[in-house]
Amino acid sequence: MSIDSRSTDDLIRPNHADQALVTNESTLSNALENNQFALFYQPQIDLPTGEVVGFEGLLRWRHPEYGVKLPDSFIATAEQTGQIAQLTHLVIDTGFKFIEKLNPELSFSLNISSQCIRDNHLVDTLDSCCNAFHIDPHRVVLEFTEKAALENPVHAEDILGQLKTNGFRLGIDDSGTGYTDMPDLGKMHFSELKIDKSLVTTMETSSKSRKSIISTIALADSLGIATIAEGIENNLEAIGLRELGCQFGQGYYFARPMDEADTLRWLENWNKSSSFMI
Ligand code: C2E
Ligand code: MG
Ligand code: MG
């Protein structure tokens, strides 16, 4: 199989040669220059109805020698070198171009590193890409980690306020991992909260995880914030979360992250099949 035919995470296998992968400023520059970064998409599902509501964009590095590399192997370096700004721009550009072709009801979520909160160009880049691709900012969900938003609260408050004023939706990515002060999040304009996959994976076996999910959903409800569970791998988890009142879900049970062509095929099949039961 050639590297380029690997189009979903199903086909991405750990590779022993990975140990030789060097990730530094120069290899990342080279990868950027040679268009080796690709955006994969994972669908988000309305748990009560089974309808697709949007996609999260997840970066992949199509390395000519080592195959498709996951963000764990390059995001931290890109954050240290400052190249995360270029990568985020690429995600915005690629993702907006992609959703322009889809039903305007569908949203697009993207991950924003804490460094980007300090990037004065972020708001302008988002605004100008919305204009260029005719995207209503309300379709765009900017996912921040709890830590990122709370690390530098005064600056975060300012930039998140601007983004919210300009129509973007703001989400917290790794909720339940220890930082959330929910009333603060409500004040900071968040409209969506992601339940971390570490809680979803253990919800059937750990009463602590289950309780944490229940209290997160209750608090989010009281603040008018939507909840989306990530890392759903089976229908027990999907049904359990729906019964606990979690509105949206994302995970391998529905689909792995896919390249653009596979995403379009997946979407067509999903919309056609009326038999899928959550
Ligand atoms: P995240 O934003 O929390 O993304 C969810 C991660 O869970 C993704 O890993 C996704 O592939 C994985 N996942 C989805 N469903 C399942 C499931 O059912 N089971 C399991 N075990 N995993 C599932 P991925 O793509 O490796 O991304 C890891 C992290 O890298 C992301 O976590 C995000 O923090 C970061 N990342 C990805 N793309 C970007 C980007 O464009 N910019 C920035 N700043 N960070 C990114
Ligand atoms: Mg995310
Ligand atoms: Mg997450």
> Under CATH, which architecture does the 8-272 domain have?
Alpha-Beta Barrel (3.20)
Which pLDDT score is estimated for 146?
73
| Cβ–Cβ < 8 Å for 87, 57 | no
Q: Is 214 in the pocket of ligand 1 (CB under 6 A)?
A: no
Element spanning 184, H or E: helix 182-187
Q: What whole-number distance in Å separates Cα of residue 175 and Cα of residue 190?
A: 12
Query: Would you give the distance in Å from CA 226 to the centre of its chain?
Result: 15
Which residue has the least CA distance to atom 10 on ligand 1?
257
Q: Going from the first residue of the chain to its last (278 residues), give the mean pLDDT of each consecutive group of 10, the final group possibly shorter.
A: 57 58 95 98 96 97 94 96 97 98 97 87 95 97 81 77 94 70 64 94 94 92 93 96 97 97 96 67
Q: Is the CB of residue 146 below 6 angstroms from any atom belonging to ligand 1?
A: no
Q: H or E segment at 131?
A: helix 122-132
Residue closest via CA to ligand 1's atom 17 equals 231
pLDDT at residue 187, as a whole number: 62
User: Ligand 3 centre from 1 Cα, in Å?
Assistant: 30
Beta strands at 67-69 and 52-63: parallel, antiparallel or unpaired:
antiparallel
Using the atom order of ligand 1, give the atom closest to the CA of residue 39. 41
Say whether 181 sits in a helix, a strand or coil.
coil
User: Which residues fall within 8 angstroms of residue 276, CB to CB, at 6 or more apart?
Assistant: 50, 270
Of 147, 230, 263, best ligand 1 pocket probe by most atoms within 8 Å of the beta carbon:
230
Would the CB of 113 count as within 6 Å of ligand 1? yes
59 lines ligand 1 (CB under 6 A): yes
pLDDT of residue 84: 96
- Atom 1 (ligand 1) nearest CA: 173
Burial tier of 82 (Cβ tally within 10 Å: 0-12, 13-18, 19+): exposed
pTM: predicted TM-score of the whole model, two decimal places: 0.93
Residue 182: what pLDDT? 52
pLDDT of residue 183: 52
- Helix count and strand count (H, E) for the chain: 12, 9
Give ∠ CA 29-31-35 in degrees, rounded to 5. Answer: 120
The pLDDT, as a whole number, for residue 60 is: 98
Count the residues in the chain: 278
* 73 CB burial (10 A radius; 0-12, 13-18, 19+): middle
* Residue 224 to residue 132: CA distance in whole angstroms: 32
**Domain locations in the chain as residue ranges:** 8-272
pLDDT for 18: 56
For 190-228, the three-class secondary structure string (H helix, E strand, C coil) is CCEEEECHHHHHHCCCCHHHHHHHHHHHHHHHHHCCEEE
Atom of ligand 1 nearest to the CA of 112: 44
Q: What is d(CA 191, CA 194) in angstroms, rounded to the nearest whole number?
A: 10
- Longest C-alpha distance within the chain, in Å? 50
Ligand 1 pocket check: which of 39, 111, 144, 174 to mutate, most ligand atoms within 8 Å of Cβ? 111
Q: Would you say the CB of residue 251 lies under 6 angstroms from ligand 1?
A: yes
Distance (Å, rounded) from C-alpha 149 to C-alpha 151?
A: 6
Q: What is the pLDDT of residue 5?
A: 45
Sorted by sequence, the CB contacts under 8 Å of residue 41 that are 6+ apart come out as 55, 56, 57, 58, 98, 257, 258, 259, 260, 263
